[in-house]
Structure 1
């Protein structure tokens, strides 16, 4: 049964020997591990409940031991280990931070706030999500080192999604009773969102529509992208406001797109255009004929005068 104990190679051998050399014999690394196991099983209340820790992507995550330290003992009296599964995340050895036994991916990424018993995990990434265990060991007088406290916390990483964006999927002019095709997308977020909702508002009423949401995850960054589509008819001569709402859960809340306003002219308005075009054409024709008549009349009036001038010459 895996109790999340320290690996033998991660435990400094000198914790088994007295600093003054007063112990009759050194305690082997395996014996120390046995002490850990024995303490985990027999000490009542040694393991506290799992605490939840939340951090944004590429920010510092703060993992507390939640150690009450009722006797206000100096941290120099303890050995403190942080573990994630089989990996050693951080080690404080009698008040001094040690890095010899750390897992490579945590080197130069951790430091301990010894006043608050809190581990700072720098530049936290999605791969850092998971359960962490804090183990505190103390050696009292000439006795063997003993686990006096453990606690666990689960780290959750969050990344902000982009504002949802609505895109028209069709070209050309919208016609009454024809379908309006739209898509709404958001990307670069974590964890996977709950759902996307379309909000259709017209005449002081709002309709909520749920449509299938396509979800994809980047293989490298582990960030999500989501898209949903809408295919509806929009009534003529009525202004319609369309928005897209992305539900991200309690931590990140909801994101809403910029509204898209749509208004399609009806057949009556088109008929008005046709009726107006007829009289306008008639007026243009009438004006043209009038101009032609005036020009011809002027030519007729000027013809006798020209002939008279020719005879005199």
Structure 2
């Protein structure tokens, strides 16, 4: 009687597990970076009654691809996963290393109970790539007649997903000095599938500004543009004055060193004849 009751409870437990198969239909969102790693955990403590665990991925065609896991018999892991997926039976997790963009997608964590699926958890893995620090190129950005030719280009590469350029202006207290924006150029690399982004804007150079740009959240170094010509002339005068002073100081130092190297002529020693005369005079005395 007691044994039959326990068997009934075990059967009910399996049924409940199967009913809960879609309980995690909303899934879990995971984030990874190209070249990095991510750990997928089933989110369920070990329980009695299951004898296998599969990690699977849905392909673009909707097929389920086995990645890693364990069962009561050896499992075959595909070559593209065998050296970069590691299953941990203790906490029922799998680590995937050296991520690529192709790893992005839907994943399933499937518990096997007596040869049948009794529990599954859904995941969605998003894989991104950090853009390089944007580079700014400046052309003709000075105050004066050429102000309308002020153009700044911002470019960044190696990122994912595609992103746009965001401009930042430091020192502008009125309206935006950007008078024109060209269309962003977004190109995907054929080999890596990563994205290169660039854009050029034109400015109204009415007063000095510091400009930055950002792509995918990565910010460039600031560049100073539209400098006041009078200020620039003063800077040139100061630099020239300092250069002249350094030249004069260098000449003085060289003159002092050379003058110390000039040797003072030594006194001419008395001749032998003079010494003999002095000796004879002493003997005669």
TM-score, with structure 1 as normaliser: 0.59
**1:68-107 paired onto structure 2 within 5 Å:** 68-69=45-46, 72-73=47-48, 77-85=50-58, 86=63, 87-94=65-72, 98-100=74-76, 102-107=77-82
- Separation in structure 1 between the aligned mates of residue 56 and residue 176 of structure 2, nearest angstrom: 50
What is the aligned partner in structure 1 of residue 223 from structure 2?
260
**Are residue 207 (structure 1) and residue 176 (structure 2) matched?**
yes
- Deviation string 1:237-295 (CA, Å, 9 cap, x unpaired) is x321111133x3xxxxx22211111234469x99xxxxxxxxxxxxxxxxxxxxxxxxx
In the comparison of the two structures, how many residue pairs are matched?
209
Tell me if structure 2 keeps the 8 A contact 1:99–1:107: no
2:196 aligned with 1:221, yes or no?
no
Q: Quick check: 2:177–2:204 contact (8 Å CA) kept in 1?
A: no
1:60 maps to which residue?
37
CA distance in 1, matches of 2:226, 2:202: 16
8 A contact 1:55–1:157 mirrored in 2: yes
Distance 1:181 1:200 in 2: 14
Q: Secondary structure at the match of 2:27?
A: strand
Give the conservation status (yes or no) of the 8 Å contact 1:199–1:206: no
Contact 2:177 2:203 in 1 (8 A): no
Cα RMSD, aligned residues only: 3.1
1:281 maps to none
Normalized against structure 2, the TM-score is what?
A: 0.64
Report what 1:231 is aligned to: 202
Preserved CA contact (<8 Å) 1:200 1:206:
no
1:166 to 136, 156, 172: 136
- SS state at 2:19 partner: coil
2:112 maps to what in 1?
Answer: 137
CA contact (8 A) 1:175 1:264 kept: no
**1:199, 1:244 within 8 Å by CA — same for their partners in 2?**
yes
Q: In the TM superposition, what is the alpha-carbon distance from 1:51 to its structure 2 partner? A: 0.8
Partners of 2:209 and 2:148 in 1: CA distance:
14
Deviations 1:54-94 (A, max 9, x none): 1111122211212244xx438xx511111112321113013
1:1-313 counterparts in 2 under 5 A? 43-47=18-22, 48=24, 49-69=26-46, 72-73=47-48, 77-85=50-58, 86=63, 87-94=65-72, 98-100=74-76, 102-139=77-114, 145-169=115-139, 175-176=144-145, 177-193=147-163, 195-202=164-171, 204=173, 207=176, 211=181, 212-235=183-206, 238-246=207-215, 248=216, 254-265=217-228
Match of 1:17 in 2: none
Structure 1 residue 204, shift from structure 2 partner: 4.5
Alpha-carbon distance in structure 2 between the residues aligned to 1:52 and 1:257: 30
Evaluate the alpha carbon distance shift between residue 67 and residue 203 of structure 1 in structure 2; reply closer, same or farther with a 3 A threshold: closer
Is the CA contact 1:67–1:149 (under 8 Å) kept in the aligned structure 2? no
Residue ranges of structure 1 left out of the alignment (5+ in a row): 1-38, 140-144, 249-253, 271-313
Structure 2 Cα separation of the partners of residues 241 and 264 of structure 1: 10
Q: 1:262 to 1:107 in 2, by over 3 A?
A: same
In 2, the alpha carbon distance for the partners of 1:81 and 1:266 equals: 70
1:259/1:112 CA distance change after superposition, 3 Å: same
